[in-house]
Amino acid sequence: MKKIALAMLFAGVSLMAADGKALTAKCAACHGASFEKAALGKSAIVKGQSASAIEASLNGYKAGTLNKAGMGALMKGQVASMSDADIKAIASYVAGLK
């Protein structure tokens, strides 16, 4: 029984990592496939930022308290439906890009 629970735990962790990539599909249009672009020529490049910085920014946009480069309203719309787990998965995935 313990082996099954452990296997399910590892499968869940692997799935979460995969979800980060899937969740970023809509981001690529503005930020680039590897987050190497300044979105709409305005934003900071996300690639190279830490997971905690990315997570903080996404949470700020979601709360409507962040408006970097005038992108607050646009980004709020993009992240409004994301759960805390979605935001963590995205932040972890993007921070891991090389």
Is residue 92 within 8 Å of 20, Cβ to Cβ?
Answer: yes
CATH number of residue 11's parent domain: 1.10.760.10
How many Cβ atoms from other residues are within 10 Å of residue 62's Cβ?
A: 19
Nearest alpha carbon to residue 93 among 31, 29, 16: 16
Domain boundaries, position 34: 2-95
The pLDDT of residue 1 is 58
The pLDDT of residue 9 is 46
The whole-angstrom separation of Cα 60 and Cα 56 is 6
The pLDDT of residue 98 is 87
**Total domains, the chain:** 1
Helices (H), ranges, the chain:
2-23, 28-31, 51-63, 72-79, 84-95
pLDDT string in tens for the chain (98-residue length)? 555 544 444 445 444 445 899 999 999 999 999 999 999 999 999 999 999 999 999 999 999 999 999 999 999 999 999 999 999 999 999 999 98
The pLDDT of residue 8 is 47
Amino acid at residue number 24? T
What's the pTM? 0.80
Taking the mean position of all CA atoms in its chain, how far away is CA 62? 12
